[in-house]
Amino acid sequence: MAGQILAKGMNMRSMAWRMGLVAMLVLSSAVPAGARDKTGYLPVGEGLDLATILPGPPTPGSPRAKADAQLFRDSRAMQGSPRWQQATADVSSDLGDRFATALGFRPDWSRLPVTKTLIARFDADRSAAIRVGKAHWQSARPFIGTDLPICEPRTPSLIANGDYPSGHTAHGWGFALIMAELLPDRAQAILARGRDYGDSRWICGSHTMSAVEGGYLAASAIVAREHGDAAFRRDMAAAAEELAAYRRGLKAANPR
C-alpha cells in the first residue's frame, strides 16, 4: 500500500522536474548590481518573484486540487510505517544530520565556516522568496479542517504559515543542489536525498504535493539566480576547497 502511494506521488511530481530544469537554464543570467540583503546574495528588491515563476496552487475544485486532496487522504495510511517515521525525523531542519549518509560524512560546521555561511546566505534568499510567495497565494495546508493525522504537531505557527510553496522542501532541495555541485562524486546520493527530503512533506501531511513541487521549483530558481552573482560563485569555489580539505582530514584520521 505504501509503495503504491509513493508511486502515485512520484507520478504527480514528474512535471515539476521538467519545469525545474527550465527554471535552472533560464534564470542563470547575471545578477544585476545593487544592495544585498545582510545575509543573502540576491539584491534587495530585485530578488525572485515566485508568483511569476511558479504555477501556483491548483484552483479549488480542479482535477489537480482533487488529486492533492486524495493523495493527502490516501497517504494517512502510511502512519506508523518506516517512511512515516523518516518523514517525522525530516521535520528537523538540521540538514547536516539529515543528509549525513548522502554526504558521506556528518559535517562539523565549526570546521566548515565558508560552507556554513554559503548555505546560510542561500537560506536567507530562500526564506525571503518563500515568505513573499506564501503571502501572495495564502493557500491552506491540507490537514486544516480535518482530524486526520500528520507527522508533526499542529502548532499555530504551522497552521498560519501557508501551504504553497513548501519552504521546507525548498530548504532541503536548495541544500542538495549546492552540495551536489560542491561534492560531485556524491551528487547522485545527495540529489536523491534532497528529493526524498521534500517528499517527506506530503507524506507527513504538512503540505500538498503541489506545494512540494513548488518548493522544488523555487529552490531551483533561487540557486540558478544566485549563480549569476559573483560573490556566490566565489563562495562556491572557496567552499569546494574547504570541503576537499575537510574530507582529506577525515580520511587521514580514519584510514581504511
Which residue, chain included where needed, has cell 498560519?
160
Vertex 162 angle, CA 126 and 81, to 5°: 90
Task: State the average pLDDT for the chain.
Answer: 89
Inter-residue contact 236 to 224 (CB < 8 Å): no
What is the CATH classification number for the domain harbouring 63? 1.20.144.10
Task: State the Cα–Cα distance between residues 253 and 247, nearest whole angstrom.
Answer: 10
DSSP 10: H
Is 63's pLDDT higher than 50? yes
Within 10 A of 5 (CB to CB), how many other CB atoms are there?
19
Is 22's pLDDT higher than 60? no
Nearest to 120 by CA among 171, 167, 169, 187: 171
Whether 182 is in a domain gets the answer yes
Range with the largest mean pLDDT of 17-21, 24-28, 35-39, 85-89: 85-89
pLDDT band at 2 (very low <50, low <70, confident <90, very high): low
pLDDT band at 213 (very low <50, low <70, confident <90, very high): very high
Task: State the Cα–Cα distance between residues 100 and 204, nearest whole angstrom.
Answer: 21
Q: What is the pLDDT of residues 179-200, one digit of tens each?
A: 999 999 999 999 999 999 999 9
Q: Write down the pLDDT at residue 38.
A: 55
Task: State the Cα–Cα distance between residues 226 and 125, nearest whole angstrom.
Answer: 9
Whether 212 is in a domain gets the answer yes
pLDDT band at 220 (very low <50, low <70, confident <90, very high): very high
- Beta-ladder partners of 43: 36
Task: State the Cα–Cα distance between residues 58 and 67, nearest whole angstrom.
Answer: 10
Q: Write down the pLDDT at residue 30.
A: 33
Whether 6 is in a domain gets the answer no
Whether 64 is in a domain gets the answer yes
Q: What is the pLDDT of residues 230-248, one digit of tens each?
A: 999 999 999 999 999 999 9
Whether 16 is in a domain gets the answer no
Contacts of 152 (CB under 8 A, 6+ apart): 88, 91, 158, 204, 206
Is 52's pLDDT higher than 60? yes
- Give the type of residue at 38: K
pLDDT band at 33 (very low <50, low <70, confident <90, very high): very low
Question: What does the pLDDT average to over 123-136?
Answer: 96
Is 26's pLDDT higher than 60? no
Domain that holds residue 70: 56-253
CA distances 21 to 29, 217, 220, 223, 256, Å, are 14, 9, 8, 12, 39
Is 20's pLDDT higher than 50? no
Question: What does the pLDDT average to over 113-131?
Answer: 97
Q: Write down the pLDDT at residue 254.
A: 84
Q: Write down the pLDDT at residue 255.
A: 78
Q: Write down the pLDDT at residue 5.
A: 63
DSSP 161: S
Question: What does the pLDDT average to over 50-70?
Answer: 97
Whether 41 is in a domain gets the answer no
pTM of the model: 0.86
Instruction: Count structural domains, the chain.
Output: 1
Q: Write down the pLDDT at residue 12.
A: 58
pLDDT band at 43 (very low <50, low <70, confident <90, very high): confident
